[in-house]
Chain A
């Protein structure tokens, strides 16, 4: 089997896996980065969301062979001290219920806010529509993204 070298959270990592292995399972089973979750395996739930070169992608659908030189960021690498504005906002708003979907929600929100630093509530809802939360924490997820946007704006000002 080929050995793939991928850059995850700033570190070069190797995995000896088949070419079609989804990044999700490489992260979890091989690199032990378990923050990225398996929820459906077919791109429907968003629990597996990571960043590839800053864009939110579904790692369950991304074969390792397609990662190439792309920079992968997982929830573990989103910030050094767990203090990304989205993470802080999530705690402030007390978003999580069971918490299982939240890494994916946070990664989607973080990528979205980078591109849309000053979003309307409607834009937030559009951006987050792909992430399921079975606990139904959507109101606070929405509030969390809005609160994070304010933090980003305050930082810049």
Chain B
């Protein structure tokens, strides 16, 4: 698969019809008959009323168009597996193609919140099952036998009584002429052959051979390269600039200004970068200019104030704390983080008088198009957007500021433009995970039961820094969850497992403290609370108690919880993005320093779609959660991020990873997402294991700042 373009897709459709027919299915997912797939022939395939396609060419090749942005969550593979399973396709004959943005054909064409699989599970199964139904119908018709006597396997329809078989490719055209009943039966899960198996990344070959499949790899005839200088400090705006020296530099085509930005347009990226250094730019104050020391002070002041918004209240917390035999109190803090997807921000835009072509990596293509439409003053149907593969996202590419840079420059220059942000541009340019500080209080009665729980979260552009319905809500008689926020000019946004990525660390560390104060084993302590939530739920319980218990038990079992000598174990469990993950971290002391040797994870994401991809997601999320808990931080001085590249912003490397063991809890639930849920528990499990080994609690991220790890 080369860089996908509209042309290649059109070409593909054309080839199909030239090849003498094929089967192409469209699914009207957002209409009243939401679940009823409709059939259309190849020529109608571009009809706008339909929204996802599965095509079978005359040679038997099955093409599955994957609508959602692929950023390493492996959605192209798992989506295709689901369709191919119900189709009974021969996996070797399946190819997957990234579909362009098409709001009329697809719904929810975005990547975020681990939502794609749960959203599409039944839709995709029906897609495959419908095509299979038609192919069987075509074969039965051809042979003059009842359809019920036909079976399918690996791309063939069989009629065993008469020992006949026909490939899907040869049946496709006849199948396309048949009509579908309203109800298509789906497979029994025990018959799954492709779902639940380890299936290799469908883009693997392209990746290992270095094919140009990412946004940064887009090159077009006549395209110019641009780099943009945004204001370097939050709270400042452009005052004036002098580009005379830059304009005279080799390869430079122009230096232009838009909004608060100054952009260099050149023949090549390097020439644009060199020239940008030669521009003299002055900025002036526009809003508050903030420092990290301000943030620390404000968060403390907010925690001390009584102005927080109540997110959940059960019982009477004040009375509970008055009657408590023991009170535990602690504060936990996490800094701003950058997303740092490995592929820096970039986008291609060609704004012409009669339409706009956009190509590149974004997690929210529909939003990108809507914003560009507004910017250039052209209706959305004049704007095409082709998704490339995304070199990571982590939430950064939910925001399309770099797409707008490209569109605006192309509009000004009347040329096709590729905008590239450098690593420094991205790391200092905003959209960070917000900084937060939490204050927890727990009230225990004389038997060590948790009778009162109070969490107040304070954040910098964190909005609601809590998840008020998360465990242990529902299990505590008297509970108060509040949040308070400072509005800052520093741009923040969703970062992989938004909010829970820091909240889980704080909550799960604090629960460990409470268990210790109650004299209880941390695992048993959580199980007791869950039993309480089941027997006497307090207010709404918005997590599945049994599923949480199951991952807790599984993690305890596989890790040999409490049975190991010479190693300290730390426990953590979290429910986020509809999945449940429990983790046990193991720490040993080496040369007086804690060393993380192993992390066990027990995950419940319902039906596992791709065993290889799912394991990879869990392992990657643990590495990610660990790396950022240990090392990650963006700090500010005079509104400016103090970390601009990887020499100042440490990412985890190979030698710092622990061994990771992943198990999935088996059950009959439909699949839920896995791009995020394994990350939140890691920080807490690690902090709790370090406590077990050293007696020291880590109240602040990044952990590496603690004297434990120094010297």
Chain A residues within 8 Å of B, Cβ to Cβ: 1, 17-18, 21-22, 25, 28-30, 32-42, 44-45, 47, 74-76, 78, 82, 87, 90-91, 94, 96-103, 106, 125-126, 128-142
Contact = CB atoms under 8 A, between A and B. Distances in A.
A44 B268 contact: no
B389 interface: yes
18 contacts: A18-B271, A21-B268, A25-B270, A34-B210, A38-B420, A39-B342, A39-B423, A41-B423, A75-B209, A82-B209, A98-B342, A129-B655, A132-B653, A134-B342, A136-B619, A137-B620, A138-B657, A141-B654
Contacts of A102: 207-208
Contacts of B271: 18
Contacts of A17: 268, 270
Contact of B198 (A30, A75, A94, A139): A94
Contact of B72 (A135, A140, A141): A135
A136 B652 contact: yes
Given A91-B205, A125-B654, A136-B624, A36 B342 contact: no
Interface string B187-205: 0000000000010110111
A40 B423 contact: yes
B229 interface: no
Given A29-B225, A34-B219, A41 B343 contact: no
B209 A76 contact: yes
A18 B250 contact: yes
A17 B250 CA distance: 9
A44 B645 contact: yes
Given A99-B72, A140-B616, A35 B210 contact: yes
B563 to A, nearest CB: 25
Contacts of A18: 250, 270-271, 274
B196 to A, nearest CB: 15
B637 interface: no
A96 B204 contact: yes
B274 to A, nearest CB: 8
Nearest to A30: B268
A139 B660 CA distance: 8
Given A29-B270, A35-B212, A138-B657, A42 B647 contact: yes
A139 B619 contact: yes
B216 A34 contact: yes
Given A96-B208, A103-B207, 6 more contacts: A17-B270, A25-B270, A35-B211, A98-B72, A100-B341, A132-B651
B208 A91 contact: yes
A108 to B, nearest CB: 11
Contact of A37 (B216, B225, B612, B621): B216
Interface in B267-308: 268-271, 274
Contact of A134 (B207, B341, B622): B341
Nearest to B271: A18
B209 A32 contact: no
Contacts of B206: 99
A122 B215 CA distance: 35
Given A37-B343, A134-B340, A138-B623, A126 B204 contact: no
B430 interface: no
A27 to B, nearest CB: 11
Given A25-B268, A91-B205, A40 B250 contact: no
Given A25-B268, A29-B270, A132 B342 contact: yes
A28 B346 CA distance: 14
B342 A82 contact: no
Nearest to A47: B342
B97 interface: no
Contacts of A76: 209-210
Contacts of A1: 250
A135 B269 contact: no
A97 B74 contact: yes
A91 B616 contact: no
B390 interface: yes
A100 B391 contact: yes
A97 B394 CA distance: 13
A1 B657 CA distance: 47
B616 A97 contact: yes
A91 to B, nearest CB: 5
Contacts of A100: 214, 341-343, 391-392
Contacts of A137: 616, 619-620
Interface in B593-637: 612-613, 616, 619-624, 627
B344 interface: yes
Nearest to B204: A91
Contact of B646 (A30, A38, A91, A132): A132
A91 B200 CA distance: 7
B99 interface: no
Contacts of A37: 214, 216, 342-343, 391
Nearest to A35: B210
A45 B342 contact: yes
B655 to A, nearest CB: 5
Contacts of B654: 125, 128-129, 131, 138, 141-142
A94 B200 contact: yes
Contacts of B217: 34
Given A42-B645, A136-B621, A103 B269 contact: no
A135 B675 CA distance: 11
B620 A136 contact: yes
Contacts of B219: 29, 32, 34
B35 interface: no
B264 interface: no
A98 B613 CA distance: 11
Contact of A126 (B205, B207, B622, B655): B655
A87 B209 contact: yes
Contacts of A125: 654-655
B71 interface: yes
Name the residue among A42, A134, A137 with the largest chain B CB count within 10 angstroms.
A134
B422 interface: yes
A42 B390 contact: no
A42 B646 contact: yes
B548 to A, nearest CB: 25
Contacts of A126: 655
Contacts of A98: 71-72, 341-343, 389-393
Interface in B425-453: none
A65 to B, nearest CB: 13
Nearest to A42: B645
B418 to A, nearest CB: 10
Contacts of A41: 422-423, 645
Contacts of B270: 17-18, 21-22, 25, 29
Contacts of B652: 136, 138
B341 to A, nearest CB: 6
Interface string B663-685: 00000000000000000000000
A1 B72 CA distance: 41
B344 A38 contact: yes
A103 B647 CA distance: 21
Contacts of A30: 268
Contact of A36 (B73, B210, B213, B389): B210
Interface in B637-665: 645-647, 651-655, 657, 660
Contacts of B394: 134
Given A125-B655, A133-B342, A40 B209 contact: no
B272 to A, nearest CB: 10
Contact of B216 (A38, A44, A75, A134): A38
Nearest to A132: B651
A82 B211 CA distance: 11
